[in-house]
A and B are shown apart, each in its own frame.
Chain A
């Protein structure tokens, strides 16, 4: 009886999973492997090999990779500084970094579009100072900039989390045993934060790989990512079959990268770390 009751409580969650996760995926798979006459075909998936699609996928992988590396390089020292601060300030600074996450990300990207546009605030300021104007918008760099801006907190938080778990005694012990600052970093801090690094990489790389709004707004249609291609198939060409086929390919990349990271994460710490 009790057992039945407990399982009953999971009911809404199961409905949620089926309705909003399993069914949509099944539908995408269905559309992906059929054509407009509803007969089976792999053409939609093989279509990734078309030059324009392949180019978009490679660009997506490249920009996502660059974004992840930049986030990691920015976040690691930042998390270390945060961690070394006195306790009463610590939480406040973390709060400041996480604050933008609570605002709609599209709004934030729109704001950057206004700031960076050729007649935007940045260039107006540069003009009044008689400095050369800055053509930044609508370049791949602008897209990476937007991605880094958006996804940075997702890298900082797991890193900071894993760093704050290292007790000061452990650092002292390493120093006591003869390690200098650099050796402490390489032999103690890095290995003990590896799970945070892996979590952070997944949490930045996956959304960066699949994003299309940032490239729409900051790339001005000139930076075509795989996300943009899929969006266009659905919204402009109304070709749900092609869109779904390409989505399946992208999903495979996402799952593969997560599986790769998880297999290297010995501590078994989940990706949702806060």
Chain B
């Protein structure tokens, strides 16, 4: 994983006066599995379509291996795309679908036949050459779409929510297949999804986007453990996000209670967002916590119980393996290390972090 491969430089794009991307700058390295993650309308698909050549940015440039490809049509770009709804050619057999790109680039028949065999083996669908598109299940169609893209030996594979239409079990299987494929092919993947779990499972690097702005770029661990703002924290997994005031270094006030934390460097009495993951909230004896409350609801989730505790006017979300019946009076405790303090959005850019549900 090394050198800079793709550079999206200061890209802006709007549709009908609706600003979708605002001065987006993104570098993708060679052989990276990069995921663009965000809610619908955050600009992730538009970013992918600009990479694919289906949209032209209003401002900015796209560099591919150092060359400016901003104005290059899709058919002249050395990359391939896997579409959300497969987009197979229904009037062709599976073999003809896979051969489409190779025939256009005028490869020999022997080469094409070899490639079809190889690609079908790679996606575990040997012997499907003469089947029709209609006779395949959704998961099989998506694998053919992937095969059709990779036979052209692209240096970059774009995937636009390719697993969105599949059911949960199939989606998980396909996630492992994609990781395996990426390792076997050794090419760069850019993957678009709104599913945080998918992003965390597969990516080398995640780009969290909202309303046309990049919120955070980092490894899955970074993004989950050290979210940079309340939006990222909320989007990647569940969180308790509470308004707080920084009393001094390593002391923050939330819901009328002063609690110790590990963050320093904020102004005195600065308003902040306090983010606490539900699995980090401990339910203890009422006297042992920094706050007291009552269990409002409890749902069994398999691995853990999801409990809601009403305390000091806030409904805390708690994940715990212990059972607390509704109505139990409990204390809430969080160790200082698990309390994340974040700046409130101030600048124009950061406005996009506000969470719109």
The answer to the question of B87 belonging to the interface, with a C-beta cut-off of 8 Å to chain A, is yes
Q: State how many angstroms separate the Cβ of B15 from the closest Cβ of chain A.
A: 12
| CB under 8 Å from chain B, chain A span 2-45 | none
The answer to the question of B81 belonging to the interface, with a C-beta cut-off of 8 Å to chain A, is yes
Q: Complex: how many Å from CA A28 to CA B134? A: 45
Query: CB < 8 Å: which of A169, A175, A183 contacts B73?
Result: A175
Closest A residue, CB atoms, query B78: A178
The answer to the question of A191 belonging to the interface, with a C-beta cut-off of 8 Å to chain B, is yes
The answer to the question of B104 belonging to the interface, with a C-beta cut-off of 8 Å to chain A, is yes
Interface size class, chain A: 10 to 19
Q: How many residue pairs at the A-B interface have CB separations less than 8 Å?
A: 61
Query: CB < 8 Å: which of B79, B85, B91 contacts A191?
Result: B91
Q: Mark A180-206, 1 if CB is under 8 A from B, else 0.
A: 100100011001100000000000000
Flag if B85 contacts A177 (CB, 8 Å).
no
Q: Complex: how many Å from CA A178 to CA B149? A: 11
Query: CB < 8 Å: which of B74, B89, B152 contacts A170?
Result: B89
Q: Complex: how many Å from CA A175 to CA B149? A: 12
Q: Complex: how many Å from CA A172 to CA B79? A: 13
Flag if B83 contacts A178 (CB, 8 Å).
no
Q: Which of A169, A183, A191 gathers most chain B CB within 10 Å? A: A169
For residue B74, which residues in chain A have a CB less than 8 angstroms away from its CB? 172, 175-176
Q: State how many angstroms separate the Cβ of B51 from the closest Cβ of chain A.
A: 11
A176-B52, A183-B104 are contacts. A169–B83 as well, Cβ < 8 Å? Answer: yes
| CB under 8 Å from chain B, chain A span 128-168 | 167
A169-B83, A169-B85 are contacts. A178–B152 as well, Cβ < 8 Å? Answer: yes
The answer to the question of B105 belonging to the interface, with a C-beta cut-off of 8 Å to chain A, is yes
For residue B73, which residues in chain A have a CB less than 8 angstroms away from its CB? 175, 180
Q: State how many angstroms separate the Cβ of B99 from the closest Cβ of chain A.
A: 10
Flag if B81 contacts A178 (CB, 8 Å).
no
Q: Which of B54, B79, B149 gathers most chain A CB within 10 Å? A: B54
Q: State how many angstroms separate the Cβ of A191 from the closest Cβ of chain B.
A: 5
The answer to the question of A81 belonging to the interface, with a C-beta cut-off of 8 Å to chain B, is no
Q: Complex: how many Å from CA A175 to CA B89? A: 12
For residue A177, which residues in chain B have a CB less than 8 angstroms away from its CB? 75, 80, 100-101, 104, 148-149, 152
A178-B105, A179-B104, A192-B91 are contacts. A167–B85 as well, Cβ < 8 Å? Answer: yes
Interface SS of A by simple majority? helix
For residue A174, which residues in chain B have a CB less than 8 angstroms away from its CB? 89, 100
The answer to the question of B287 belonging to the interface, with a C-beta cut-off of 8 Å to chain A, is no
Q: Complex: how many Å from CA A183 to CA B81? A: 18
| CB under 8 Å from chain A, chain B span 74-118 | 74-75, 79-81, 83-85, 87-91, 100-101, 104-105
Flag if A179 contacts B75 (CB, 8 Å).
yes
The answer to the question of A173 belonging to the interface, with a C-beta cut-off of 8 Å to chain B, is yes
For residue B75, which residues in chain A have a CB less than 8 angstroms away from its CB? 175-180
Q: Complex: how many Å from CA A176 to CA B88? A: 12
Q: Complex: how many Å from CA A180 to CA B53? A: 13
Closest A residue, CB atoms, query B105: A178
Q: Complex: how many Å from CA A172 to CA B106? A: 20
Q: Complex: how many Å from CA A178 to CA B53? A: 12
Q: State how many angstroms separate the Cβ of B102 from the closest Cβ of chain A.
A: 9
For residue B101, which residues in chain A have a CB less than 8 angstroms away from its CB? 177-178
Q: Which of B81, B105, B149 gathers most chain A CB within 10 Å? A: B81
For residue B89, which residues in chain A have a CB less than 8 angstroms away from its CB? 170, 173-174, 188
The 7 closest A-B pairs by CB, nearest first: A177-B101, A169-B87, A173-B87, A178-B104, A175-B74, A191-B91, A176-B81
20 new A-B contacts at CB < 8 Å, known A172-B87, A176-B75: A167-B85, A169-B83, A170-B89, A172-B54, A173-B88, A173-B89, A174-B89, A175-B54, A175-B75, A176-B52, A176-B79, A177-B75, A177-B100, A177-B148, A178-B75, A179-B75, A180-B73, A187-B100, A191-B91, A192-B90
10 contacts between A and B (CB under 8 A): A167-B87, A170-B87, A173-B87, A174-B100, A175-B75, A176-B80, A176-B81, A177-B104, A183-B104, A191-B91
